[in-house]
Structure 1
């Protein structure tokens, strides 16, 4: 759930204009001064957005990392670690375990999906990159998680994920936009992401984007539900075993997850929806369970924030495995080749 914007109120409008002026000044600085951004010393791919939350960035970030790993590259994710409880820079090695309190929920999820990757977590990502460079070989690639606005680091590929909604609206805090639509001219690849049932709309939106930003490659994708996973065992769960489940989540745009669950023919007995990055506590879960619930459906990101995967005896937690799927033939190959094409080793060091 994304915090509700202030809308067209006087306060919202004034604050939005102040925010917009700051964004414009900052962008002009980086546009005019080529040396304002720092080289990481390795190929760098950024995946981000211009909307506040809920655009499908994390599945795309995992997909890109998976392509790179399968091609033999070391992958180092750089993330701010939004929502974590520590402020210190954190380096997580391949095979090492971490938790959301130290790294943030999305980086923790990415590391669970690709345990052979590195994590560099901290507000100043160039510091994380510098520390990682001590460990990384020449075949390594940095992947910036939610990095479109983080212009202090140079990147070789800028990927922007967009929702299926029309591209208009006010800037934060009056609306949900982090930057004006015109900022998309910086992007090399635009991914417009929605539900499988929106295929026609996604394709039409992709064509509109291509006309507006002809220098970018535009790919429509849908979020494909793969199946349910038992959080305790990591094994697939048959839908017939989900007896009168309840649903709980703390994500941006929860209606998308709820709709996906309902389209699978599942009718949750009750739903507990909280803001994005909400940490469900043991007492909160027990209070919800006392209403007669023993089976809970949630997202992988929410699972990462549970007190533990065995947080309450006698309760079952299942998360929905989701994967981005390309709608047009040849797009996945084009996208993957573009990613692998920029991943060639380079010589250099961070400043």
Structure 2
């Protein structure tokens, strides 16, 4: 009988990725609703020391597979290892991050295991009556939200966008079990050889990791409208993000987009500058701790979720705000 909520936890360069910790938080909630355990799946080479981190963030058990061939992600070895784990332990639910790795791995596993997969989920809940997993994702270009069930096959599988789920705080008192599994790989399983890894160094932080975001929309008027936003971001130590309208217009790179068809963010402070607040955008940022919105249209939906709203011209207000913050920083520097 299928049992437990399994989470594939990504590691890169032996560093646990944040999305895995976020998924453990949601898995803990799902498992508690089912009165089952949370089981983390950790693959890599020399990663055993990381297993305790997963237990402290909600896992009851960690299934550990260590092999030199798993040091860097390649499709076939990882797919074989997870496939064997799933067949042996028969989980009720298995969730993966909707990252480049998760989007490559999860569909292959769904085909091998013969089960369904709901991709790019923004919500996971247990149905109180059937105890099935309700998997919610954007549909029709983000204009609708669809809730999908996998009633007849197990495990119920989903990929979840980074930044959507809330990670649990570290609990140093938690204890768990580490189960070491050995997968017998053959030469046929290693059909890709990684010869070199080139890393792109970027000064820009991923917007899902930022504590403060200054986000611009159609209301800034054009690419030049982002220049004052960048000055404000620099003054605050923040990152620039945007609505879909600014990305579609070519004013900002795609990886800066917030919303259903972009990234889900949860910063401590979110500035919505010249953003009307369409539901697709709100879905990606409404859980921010503090939302400050500036828009010249007093009826903009963004004001319904904003903690502080300013009705006015963003291009007139932002430069003054940036200058005021710079002055305040200079005064504090003199005092110190």
Q: What TM-score comes out, normalization by structure 2 length?
A: 0.29
Q: Which entry has the higher C-alpha Rg, 1 or 2?
A: 2
Q: What TM-score comes out, normalization by structure 1 length?
A: 0.28
